[in-house]
Structure 1
């Protein structure tokens, strides 16, 4: 893993949701490797245990997991209060956790729709609401959206809608929190290969075909570091004039015109 070198994060407090698997592992590690302390949030106890042993070994003194079901407003509130009491302040919040659904409209239940919207859209708002008392002037919020907020495959309505809503929430929060000098930005990842960074029983060795690489204008599929480094940049003083924006990190796929032949 190669992360940006940003000593300015030393001893800062970063809160990362969905930190036990996938992109969240890279985001948490990028802050840890730059000297920050990480309050990691996840709901999967098995994934947390595997991550602490496999991905965060050696950082046990600077990362702590808080088990929280992001469907529950009460759990979010109590977890944010616990984090605030433990650390006293928060410098960075990364809303990374997400739920997904690929059922057809006919098959998908209302409860499944509500689950995805709750985790992907309501939870980020509530994380901001309940951590706000602990966020210092100059703090940063980064919401992990998706290129599916901009384009879609079939049967992804709740995910696409939630990520589109997250982009709107991002620019709305950027304006609402500007008086506190808190910047809020979003990142929309494309295809990011993190199948080896799941909990142990779900890990897979990537089987990327040449077409998978070459269809990307950048010539490769994305890596976890691509998103983590974007998070570091948007959380740093180097992006001090950037707020309310969406940074697309997708190897150029969303600007590629495709015709079926």
Structure 2
């Protein structure tokens, strides 16, 4: 008779010894994910356009060589290549990539007034940036059996007026994710997280930090009873980057306190 497997202990540090690269990792959701990786025992190498914010992370984390930073513009391939090389030089190996960097403002005004230059800027940062980073990190991930997490948005599934450029890039990230999962598997898994309303005020560069100014109404419109925090995204990112999710790939996960499933009546 086949014996049922014994109870397996739960790994409280599922990323111990693993190195994760995070774009846009010095502020907001990116910093929340970086801190979650560190809390799960991993190492992080973050990239960000804001050099002061990146240096502040290293100063405040006080984790020594477990964290590194280099300036990163994800829309420029030469800089992406240098950033990837810097991470490999710092840690010697890479086990995970989080494509988080992007233009956060979804509103660009009426489509008839949206310039091609502005449209292309959203594409270059929010979508092409994920392609470039995956392209240059993928060979290293294949060597170690790694994972990629793309940060999209609930706006890939629903929209407000005048947000076509942002929505198109976030929707594109979903398609990019499942295509990448098929192409890179089984050695590398790829999944996407779709954050909803996440309060990042306290997670910005030191001079710009403030306590979130949220009303009871802001919290109450979420079925979960509150606005989200960067830790909410970080927790899921750790799971998707770790071996605990080894049977999960090509999927997208909505983290929005239930807002996208709540029926709205005027």
State the shift of 1:5 in Å: 6.7
Q: Is 1:77 aligned to residue 81 of structure 2?
A: yes
Paired residue secondary structure (2:46): strand
For 1:103, the equivalent position in structure 2 comes to: 108
Q: 2: CA distance between counterparts of 1:153 and 1:107?
A: 16
For 1:88, the equivalent position in structure 2 comes to: 92
Q: Is 1:22 aligned to residue 57 of structure 2?
A: no
Q: 2: CA distance between counterparts of 1:67 and 1:234?
A: 25
Q: 1: CA distance between counterparts of 2:145 and 2:12?
A: 16
State the shift of 1:128 in Å: 1.0
Task: Tell me: CA distance 1:5–1:47, structure 2 relative to 1, closer, same or farther (3 Å).
Answer: farther
Question: Runs of 4+ in structure 1 displaced over 3 angstroms?
Answer: none
Q: 2: CA distance between counterparts of 1:111 and 1:100?
A: 17
Unaligned runs of 5+ in 2: 1-9
For 1:167, the equivalent position in structure 2 comes to: 174
State the shift of 1:126 in Å: 1.0
Paired residues of 1:142 and 1:186 also in contact (CA < 8 A): yes
Q: 2: CA distance between counterparts of 1:25 and 1:37?
A: 13
Paired residue secondary structure (1:196): helix
Q: 2: CA distance between counterparts of 1:69 and 1:49?
A: 16
Q: How does 1:219-258 map to 2 (within 5 A)?
A: 219-258=225-264
Paired residues of 2:182 and 2:250 also in contact (CA < 8 A): yes
Paired residues of 1:81 and 1:130 also in contact (CA < 8 A): no
Q: 1: CA distance between counterparts of 2:249 and 2:44?
A: 23
Q: CA RMSD in A?
A: 1.7
Q: How does 1:195-234 map to 2 (within 5 A)?
A: 195-234=201-240
Q: Render the CA deviation track for 1:157-184: whole Å, top value 9, x for unaligned.
A: 11111000000000000000014x2110
State the shift of 1:43 in Å: 1.2
For 1:67, the equivalent position in structure 2 comes to: 71
Q: Render the CA deviation track for 1:212-239: whole Å, top value 9, x for unaligned.
A: 1111111111111110000011112221
Q: State which of 128, 137, 141 in structure 1 corresponds to 2:134.
A: 128
After TM superposition, the score normalised by the length of structure 1 is: 0.92
After TM superposition, the score normalised by the length of structure 2 is: 0.90
Greater strand percent: which structure?
A: 1
Q: State which of 170, 188, 191 in structure 2 corresponds to 1:185.
A: 191
State the shift of 1:8 in Å: 2.9
User: Larger Cα Rg: Structure 1 or Structure 2?
Assistant: 2
Q: 1: CA distance between counterparts of 2:171 and 2:23?
A: 19
Paired residue secondary structure (1:7): coil
State the shift of 1:88 in Å: 2.8
Q: Is 1:9 aligned to residue 15 of structure 2?
A: yes
Paired residues of 1:12 and 1:90 also in contact (CA < 8 A): yes
Q: 1: CA distance between counterparts of 2:98 and 2:209?
A: 24
Q: Is 1:156 aligned to residue 163 of structure 2?
A: yes
State the shift of 1:130 in Å: 0.6
For 1:48, the equivalent position in structure 2 comes to: 54
